[in-house]
Amino acid sequence: MSKPKLVVVGAGMASGRVLEHLFETDAAAYDVTLFSAEPRGNYNRIMLSPVLSGEKTYEEIVTHDADWYRAHGVDCRFGETIVKIDRARKVVVSAKGETPYDKLLIATGSAPVMIPVPGRDFDGVMAYRDLDDVERMLAAAKAKPGADAVVIGGGLLGLEAAAGLSRQGMNVTVLHLMGHLMERQLDPAAGYLLRRELESRGIRVHCEASTQAILGEGKAEAVLLADGTVYPADLVVMAVGIRPETRIATDARLRVERGLVVDDHMVTSDPDILAVGECVEHAGKVYGLVAPLYEMAKTAAATLLGREAPYRGSVTSTKLKVTGVDLFSAGDFAEADGHEDIVFRDPGRGVYKRLVLKDDRIVGAVMYGDAADGPWFFGQLKDGADVSAMRDTLIFGPAYAGGSALDPMAAVAALPDEAEICGCNGVCKSRIVAAIQDGSGDLAAVRATTKASSSCGTCTGLVEQLLALTLGDDFAPPTVQPMCACTDLAHEDVRRLIKSQELKSMASVMQELGWKTSCGCHVCRPALNYYLLADWPEEYADDPQSRFVNERNHANIQKDGTFSVVPRMWGGITTPAELRAIADAAEKYAVPTVKVTGGQRIDLLGVSKSDLPAIWADLNQAGLVSGHAYAKGLRTVKTCVGTDHCRFGTQDSTALGIAIEKRMWGSWTPHKVKMAVSGCPRNCAEATCKDVGVICVDSGFEVGVAGAAGMDVKETERLAKVATQEEAIELICAFVQLYRENAKYLDRPYKWVAKVGLDWVKARVVDDLESRQALVARFDLSQRVYQKDPWAERAAPDRARAFQPLADIVLEAAE
């Protein structure tokens, strides 16, 4: 009696596993014929990346060799593509003819998605899917050492391709459409660490990169992005995603949605046709990882043998196969109702771990830098285990699971004498304890005598615990005011560390300085955004979502949610045409209140948010720009009429005021900065109570700083007297830049000068000419980036939309 015939289409990992189960259970059940479009049998596809990087050979990743197929009597038809299934006659059709089946197993896997940009069919543009692709990449790397490769797609596959190509000596750039790498598996913090690691290996990463075209003539030469950036590319690898390969199933009128639809027994809409792997859709889900495929294979083999082993869907986890990158991700880690986070960061070791809990169960896990506990967390997740009893120590993994919560003081007390406390300066516990016993009674003294905690500062907490342990009740904990509840560090420490550790993004600050929340709060984010843009004007991109409402909307919010609009009037000088434009705008937008401000300009109060772009566009037409009346930045330079009209004026105070304002407008500062120039000591412009005030005298200009006329009233202190207008402007720019670089966010200049001392300021701004010039140069550099009219940018139609409602569903919802 002849055996029933099983035909398998596709010799990949899923069908390979089905055959293994089948032969193990009942080797004589079927006559098996195996078709594959690839000219080879089953190999471990997830190990392609190590082959690309040169860490493994093809032979090492073969799962089933010719001997295995022969031993199990499989009729191998490799390199023969099935083009049609005739379900009525139960045959499959290839170029070489027909093959009958009793049972058919479809395992056609998936096909890479090629993004539809011009140039995608050029030579040198390819996907990353099978061994042939790997061989083409290896050939490209060998043909031209140091050639440029661009990988489009910063997901799992793209990054493995990038790391492999980089190891083969290519100069690699990764383009990723989203804001951070592997956004489906990683949260922004872990994505940042991954990016940092790849960049340290010389791989360039460009996020939010929208590919517009591949440039070249028949052969790829470069990739053009929508923002105009061009990257040279001898090789372009598209790794943006995969889609189930279902063409023959669709042609055979099997039920296909996103993938070939199967039931819990891996049976398609035809009871004699089964399917497994990446081509199938089960319960609405399509899988692209290996673990679910293996679970499906178990079920399919059972079904083929007339047994029951229903498949119930899979929870998946991910590990990135790049040597030296330790990363794990599983489950759901999106912010959602009832989700709670446990976050652990160890900046020194570059470790980030995050567990997402819901109803006392782990629903998601992301780990970077130390993923050893990943499988254990994944087990807890899959089991739906109640973790409430071990929640306090859960993040430390199975080693502490269920143990008692650790007393941090006990942990420090238990450290051996030779335990290193300060990694930067190599200071061990015993040395710090000895210094404390010798009289170093506070943090500053310990820093001075041992250098511990004097560099990056992340061990400050440990040093303080040692002080408390050694001194007992004699230790008075320091009274540093942390920035906010997200960190124990004070503003001054954060500023210092941003500079010394060259932290150039919000994510890097939060990771390296051990932020306790995943994305900060309304207190720290605006401060960090300012520190970063002030210290790294060229590298850091201003983050509108970390700005207070007024700076995000470039207008001042009022108590009823409307806004006020204040155009700039340079030095308080205006013209009939400008006034006419302002009057027209006030009428057109029915502005309820028009007010003259203390800073010599006009305030239009009560404008609705959705009218802002239009009123700005109208004012722009008349040459008026934003007055930054809402900014922690340069506000106004108030002037008197000076020598132009006044019989007492000694210098052209109006011209100087306008020149200062033209040079400095648009600059962001720790708090608002108001200036004035008075043409004589009668001081009609009230320059002696400003952040910076100039009093003109016959022999030159007296520049005063650090005045106040708000909650405190304070006269300016004299910074210097200079002979020329140019010198006065240089001095003021240098002073403001020093303030920009050093002050705490929300400290006005008078508060900052009181902390650092006027002599410290004078030494850098007045006495040291080289320092003054360097400050001015850095100020001008920042101005090249930030001196742009924000109104003109936001009045443009594509950006103006953001000020309008997203939708109006009044009618739709009322039905």
- In the complex with other proteins, the residue whose CB is nearer, 308 or 337, is 337
- In the complex with other proteins, the residue whose CB is nearer, 59 or 337, is 337
Do residues 677 and 685 lie in contact, with contact meaning Cβ atoms separated by under 8 Å? Answer: yes
Examine residue 812 and tell whether it contacts other proteins (CB under 8 A). yes
Among 549, 583, 777, 781, binds other proteins (CB under 8 A): 549
700 Cβ neighbours under 8 A, 6+ residues apart: 651, 721, 722, 723, 724
Q: Is 378 helix (H, G, I), strand (E, B) or coil?
A: helix
Q: Which of residues 468-527 bind other proteins (CB under 8 A)?
A: 517-522, 525-526
Task: Supply the minimum distance, in Å, between the C-beta of residue 489 and other proteins.
Answer: 18
Q: Nearest 5 degrees, angle CA 261-CA 267-CA 270?
A: 85
The DSSP secondary structure of 641-694, one letter per residue, reads: -HHHH-SS--S-HHHHHHHHHHHHTT-B-SS-EEEEEESSTT-TT-GGGSSEEE
Task: Supply the minimum distance, in Å, between the C-beta of residue 310 and other proteins.
Answer: 28
Task: Supply the minimum distance, in Å, between the C-beta of residue 520 and other proteins.
Answer: 6
- In the complex with other proteins, the residue whose CB is nearer, 41 or 244, is 244
641 Cβ neighbours under 8 A, 6+ residues apart: 649, 653, 654, 679
If you ran DSSP here, which 8-state letter would residue 767 be given?
Answer: I
Q: What is the C-alpha to C-alpha distance for residues 548 and 632, in angstroms, rounded to an integer?
A: 10
Task: Supply the minimum distance, in Å, between the C-beta of residue 807 and other proteins.
Answer: 4
* Per-residue mark of binding to other proteins, 305-344 (x: CB under 8 A): ----------------------------xxxxxxx-----
Total residues at interface with other proteins (CB under 8 A): 43
* Per-residue mark of binding to other proteins, 103-142 (x: CB under 8 A): ----------------------------------------
Task: Supply the minimum distance, in Å, between the C-beta of residue 804 and other proteins.
Answer: 8
- In the complex with other proteins, the residue whose CB is nearer, 410 or 811, is 811
Beta-strand relationship, 75-78 and 31-36: parallel
**CA-closest candidate to residue 109, choices 320, 316, 260, 311:** 260
Q: Which of residues 597-636 bind other proteins (CB under 8 A)?
A: 609
Dihedral sign, Cα of residue 482, residue 484, residue 488, residue 491? negative
556 DSSP β-pair partners: 564
Q: Is 716 helix (H, G, I), strand (E, B) or coil?
A: coil
Task: Supply the minimum distance, in Å, between the C-beta of residue 559 and other proteins.
Answer: 7
Among 97, 472, 561, 797, binds other proteins (CB under 8 A): 561
Q: What is the C-alpha to C-alpha distance for residues 722 and 587, in angstroms, rounded to an integer?
A: 46
Q: Which of residues 788-807 bind other proteins (CB under 8 A)?
A: 801-802, 805-807
- In the complex with other proteins, the residue whose CB is nearer, 595 or 801, is 801
Among 559, 698, 711, 770, binds other proteins (CB under 8 A): 559
**CA-closest candidate to residue 640, choices 567, 596, 699, 693:** 693
- In the complex with other proteins, the residue whose CB is nearer, 428 or 519, is 519
AA identity, residue 349: R
- In the complex with other proteins, the residue whose CB is nearer, 234 or 281, is 281
Look-up: residue for tokens 């203390």?
Answer: 598
- In the complex with other proteins, the residue whose CB is nearer, 336 or 763, is 336
- In the complex with other proteins, the residue whose CB is nearer, 240 or 293, is 240
**CA-closest candidate to residue 761, choices 215, 6, 750:** 750
Examine residue 544 and tell whether it contacts other proteins (CB under 8 A). yes
Stretch of 115-123, 425-433, 555-563, 781-789 lying at the interface with other proteins (CB under 8 A)? 555-563
Beta-strand relationship, 713-714 and 708-709: antiparallel
Task: Supply the minimum distance, in Å, between the C-beta of residue 797 and other proteins.
Answer: 14
Examine residue 201 and tell whether it contacts other proteins (CB under 8 A). no
Q: Which of residues 155-184 bind other proteins (CB under 8 A)?
A: 179
Task: Supply the minimum distance, in Å, between the C-beta of residue 585 and other proteins.
Answer: 22
Q: CA distances (Å), 679 to each of 79, 665, 693, in order?
A: 90, 21, 11
Stretch of 160-168, 316-324, 554-562, 665-673 lying at the interface with other proteins (CB under 8 A)? 554-562
Task: Supply the minimum distance, in Å, between the C-beta of residue 493 and other proteins.
Answer: 21
- The H or E element spanning position 465 is helix 460-471
Give CA 444 to chain center in angstroms: 35
Look-up: residue for tokens 């990446």?
Answer: 278
Give CA 439 to chain center in angstroms: 46
* Per-residue mark of binding to other proteins, 410-449 (x: CB under 8 A): ----------------------------------------
Tokens, residue 349:
């070791």
Task: Supply the minimum distance, in Å, between the C-beta of residue 363 and other proteins.
Answer: 13
Report the interface residues with other proteins, using CB under 8 A.
Answer: 179, 187-188, 333-339, 517-522, 525-526, 544-549, 552-553, 557, 559-561, 609, 801-802, 805-810, 812-815
